Amino acid sequence: MAAPAPGAEVSVPCPVAAPVARRAAAEESWLQRQIRRFSGYPHLDRAYRLMKEGKAREATDELASYLRRDPYDVAARQTYLILLYQQGRYAETACEATSLLKDESSWSDSALVYRALAEQRSRTDR
């Protein structure tokens, strides 16, 4: 999953999706996964604090920073997807949902729903 630049609207086509998490996880040792996870934790923590304060745009940017470090965190990717949708960034929402759906280890109904909603909204906004 290639996290988009903060505050930028994605143009078609979507950015390249992340490698399948299961394959990437197989290439890393346990220690490497832990280092990757913990090095991004300050960004993740700050993103959730910003969300609590109602600062969705800043939280989205911080979450994008975290996802550039750890693109295989499915829960963070789903939170990012929801934040994008709430801000009306439908093209990015559709891209992120598509990326989540392509990754069979993170397939979820929520990604499918948000992708459909984003595509519907982007068509009606034209």
Domain holding 45: CATH number?
1.25.40.10
Please indicate, yes or no, if residue 77 is contained in any of the structural domains: yes
Please indicate, yes or no, if residue 114 is contained in any of the structural domains: yes
Q: Look at residue 15 in the predicted model and tell me its pLDDT.
A: 55
Residues 24 and 34: their CA atoms lie apart, in Å, by: 14
Q: Look at residue 16 in the predicted model and tell me its pLDDT.
A: 45
What SS3 state is found at 110? helix
* Chunked mean pLDDT (size 10), the chain, 126 residues: 44 48 66 85 94 96 92 88 92 86 66 77 74
Q: Is the pTM of this model over 0.95?
A: no
Please indicate, yes or no, if residue 11 is contained in any of the structural domains: no
Neighbours of 24 (CB within 10 A): 15
Residues 6+ apart with CB under 8 A from 58: 50
Q: Look at residue 71 in the predicted model and tell me its pLDDT.
A: 84
Q: How many domains does the chain have?
A: 1
| Residue 92 burial by Cβ neighbours in a 10 Å radius (0-12, 13-18, 19+) | buried
Using the Cα atoms of residue 86, residue 89, residue 90 and residue 96 in order, give the sign of their dihedral.
negative
Q: Look at residue 23 in the predicted model and tell me its pLDDT.
A: 52
Tell me: cis bond preceding 13? Omega within 30 of 0 counts: yes
- Distances, alpha carbon 19 to alpha carbons 49, 123, 125, in Å: 29, 29, 31
Instruction: Tell me the one-letter amino acid at 112.
Output: L
